[in-house]
Amino acid sequence: MFTKRLTAAALAASVAVMPAARVAADAGDFIAGALIGGVVGHAVTKNNQKKRTTTRTYRSGIPSTQEGRQIQSSLNYFGFNAGSVDGQLGRQSRNAIASYQAYMGYPATGQLSAFEQDLLVTSYNRAQAGGYQTTQLIAANPEGPRGLLKTYRAELAGHSAPAIATPNAPVVAVAPQASVVAAAPQPQAVTPVPTVTASTQPTAPAALPNFFEGGAPEASLASHCNTVSLLTSTNGYTTAASMTDPTAALNEQFCLARTYAIARSEELISQVNGLTPQQIASQCEGFSPVVKPYVEGLPLKPRDVVAQEVSGFVATTGASAQQLGGTAKICLGVGYRTDDMNVALGSALILYALGEAVYGELMGHHLALGFGTQKNVGAAGPWYEAALAAADAGADAVFVPGQPERTDILRKASVQLAGNTPAQAGVLPVFSVTE
């Protein structure tokens, strides 16, 4: 139980204390459509600079207030882009307020009523104080952080919250339904079936609808992580010492990494000027077919071959490492939030190719557990090894950096799953990328 609280606190703290300068730099490096060749980086960067200058000029005569800062922080947290938190409720903040109002079903006036403001700010404070419970609610909600607004409003009105996995909720046994026994059919007159001859065509039987015409639907990682969250909320997280099932341990760490990637992406999106979160998500969705060939090669080709192919693709984009890295971090979270595994895996591959080998952990998870790609435990091992080697060499942790024994858990679980001996640290070179 102590470990569970420690992990939850570490995750909440790691998201909360993300350096503001790093966030701003990554978001500023986002290029709309850069990964699909839609926009020239220099032109977009120059255009964004003009927009920021215009915004500052517009706000220059607006007084800055603490109340304004609270409103802007709350809007940004829930994905309504209010821009920089300066306490000046100018045009961008009013547009964000209108988006918030429209999302909640209120008149989109751009001016908050007392109730709308109280709901917004109170929900933000509650989310910040919720720790791991907030993280689970966000991970379980397809609308991400902003879905908390409707959940909290429903609770405020005394209604049951939407069907979202809630930690520590008691398990309620569902009473079995009474069996319904159909009455025995009455004998019917039987009409002889005509014999089919060469000159007689049989009557085609009624077509049975096929809802899986293209094969079984792909497993939903969001749904899977909801189940994992329910288990960990009851049993606590697996530690290196208590591990008996490596698959369960990897499931827990995969879902933690997914949640953290979504939170990081949402934070970066709130700092992007000139694009709405919906437009950014659309750009990332267009990225999916571009990276699909590299994703499909994951279970079939060695790690270094895939990495080399992705590096070749990166070189053709003409964008800087900073620009591609910022874009990939945003699209990584978008892919996980929308359950688009091509976008998520493609973004992780871009980051790995840029020298951030710690993201190799994600390819390991996808291959080991079979989400977004064919399950291949043997192919997963080298990706885990690269991520662990980078961590051992001092690379910054990008997922749950406050969890002290996370690398030990990943190492032990990945080795047990593959049935191999532990790989030695530092077997691969680690290239740092200045952002």
140-144, 306-310, 342-346, 391-395: which has the minimum mean pLDDT?
Answer: 140-144
Is residue 179 assigned to a domain?
no
- Give the residue with greater pLDDT, 1 vs 249: 249
Tell whether the model's pLDDT for residue 405 goes beyond 60.
yes
CA 370 – CA 365 distance, rounded (Å): 8
- Give the residue with greater pLDDT, 371 vs 235: 371
Residues 85 and 103 in one domain: yes
Tell whether the model's pLDDT for residue 318 goes beyond 60.
yes
Residues 254 and 136 in one domain: no
Structure tokens at 212: 């899986």
pLDDT given at position 268: 86
pLDDT digits (tens, 9 = 90+) for 13-58: 444 444 444 444 455 555 544 444 333 233 333 444 444 544 444 3
Within a 10 A sphere around the Cβ of 235, how many other Cβ atoms? 12
pLDDT given at position 291: 86
pLDDT-derived band of residue 62, with 50, 70 and 90 as boundaries? low
Is residue 199 assigned to a domain?
no
Query: Where does a domain end: 166, 185, 205?
Result: 166
> Do 334 and 265 meet the contact criterion of CB atoms below 8 Å apart?
yes
Is residue 335 assigned to a domain?
yes
Is residue 373 assigned to a domain?
yes
Tell whether the model's pLDDT for residue 183 goes beyond 70.
no
pLDDT given at position 348: 93
Q: Cα 5–9–15 angle (5° rounding)?
A: 150
pLDDT given at position 242: 87
Tell whether the model's pLDDT for residue 66 goes beyond 50.
yes
pLDDT-derived band of residue 228, with 50, 70 and 90 as boundaries? confident
pLDDT given at position 156: 72
What value does the mean pLDDT of the chain take? 73
pLDDT-derived band of residue 80, with 50, 70 and 90 as boundaries? very high
- Give the residue with greater pLDDT, 52 vs 120: 120
Residues 354 and 434 in one domain: yes
Q: What is the mean pLDDT of residues 370-386?
A: 91
Instruction: Give the three-class secondary structure for 34.
Output: helix
Query: Angle between the 41-59 and 91-104 helix axes, to the nearest 10 degrees?
Result: 100
Query: Where does a domain end: 149, 166, 183?
Result: 166
Indicate yes or no: pTM above 0.85.
no
Tell whether the model's pLDDT for residue 367 goes beyond 50.
yes
Q: Show the DSSP H helices in 270-320 as ranges.
A: 277-286, 288-296, 303-317
Tell whether the model's pLDDT for residue 181 goes beyond 90.
no
CA 70 – CA 121 distance, rounded (Å): 7
Q: What is the mean pLDDT of residues 301-328?
A: 88
pLDDT-derived band of residue 271, with 50, 70 and 90 as boundaries? confident
For residue 15, which of 435, 402, 358 has the smallest C-alpha distance? Answer: 402
pLDDT given at position 30: 54
Q: Which residue range(s) make up the domain with 427? A: 1-61+221-435
Q: What is the mean pLDDT of residues 220-246?
A: 83
> Do 108 and 102 meet the contact criterion of CB atoms below 8 Å apart?
yes
Residues 6 and 96 in one domain: no
pLDDT-derived band of residue 403, with 50, 70 and 90 as boundaries? confident
Provide the percentage of residues in the chain whose pLDDT is more than 70: 68
pLDDT given at position 108: 87
pLDDT given at position 34: 44
Q: What is the mean pLDDT of residues 346-365?
A: 92
Residues 56 and 99 in one domain: no
Query: Angle between the 246-269 and 406-418 helix axes, to the nearest 10 degrees?
Result: 130
> Do 52 and 90 meet the contact criterion of CB atoms below 8 Å apart?
no
Residues 27 and 102 in one domain: no
Query: Where does a domain end: 151, 166, 181?
Result: 166
pLDDT given at position 163: 44
Residues 99 and 228 in one domain: no
Residues 3 and 105 in one domain: no
CA 304 – CA 355 distance, rounded (Å): 13
Residues 351 and 315 in one domain: yes
Residues 113 and 226 in one domain: no
Provide the percentage of residues in the chain whose pLDDT is more than 90: 23
Tell whether the model's pLDDT for residue 81 goes beyond 90.
yes
Is residue 181 assigned to a domain?
no
Q: What is the mean pLDDT of residues 231-248?
A: 84
Is residue 186 assigned to a domain?
no
pLDDT-derived band of residue 159, with 50, 70 and 90 as boundaries? low
For residue 2, which of 241, 257, 169, 262 has the smallest C-alpha distance? Answer: 241
Residues 371 and 322 in one domain: yes
Tell whether the model's pLDDT for residue 122 goes beyond 70.
yes
b/e 96-110 (16+ beta carbons within 10 angstroms → b): bbbbbbebeebeeeb
Burial of 297 (0-12, 13-18, 19+ CB in 10 A): middle
Is residue 195 assigned to a domain?
no
pLDDT given at position 343: 92
Is residue 371 assigned to a domain?
yes
Tell whether the model's pLDDT for residue 423 goes beyond 80.
no
pLDDT given at position 259: 87
Helix, strand, coil % (nearest 5) of the chain?
A: 60, 0, 40
Domain count of the fold of the chain: 2
For residue 280, which of 52, 42, 44 has the smallest C-alpha distance? Answer: 44
Q: What is the mean pLDDT of residues 354-372?
A: 91
Residues 340 and 362 in one domain: yes
CA 4 – CA 6 distance, rounded (Å): 5
Q: Whole-angstrom distance between the N-terminal and C-terminal Cα of the chain?
A: 38
> Do 358 and 395 meet the contact criterion of CB atoms below 8 Å apart?
yes
CA 322 – CA 53 distance, rounded (Å): 22
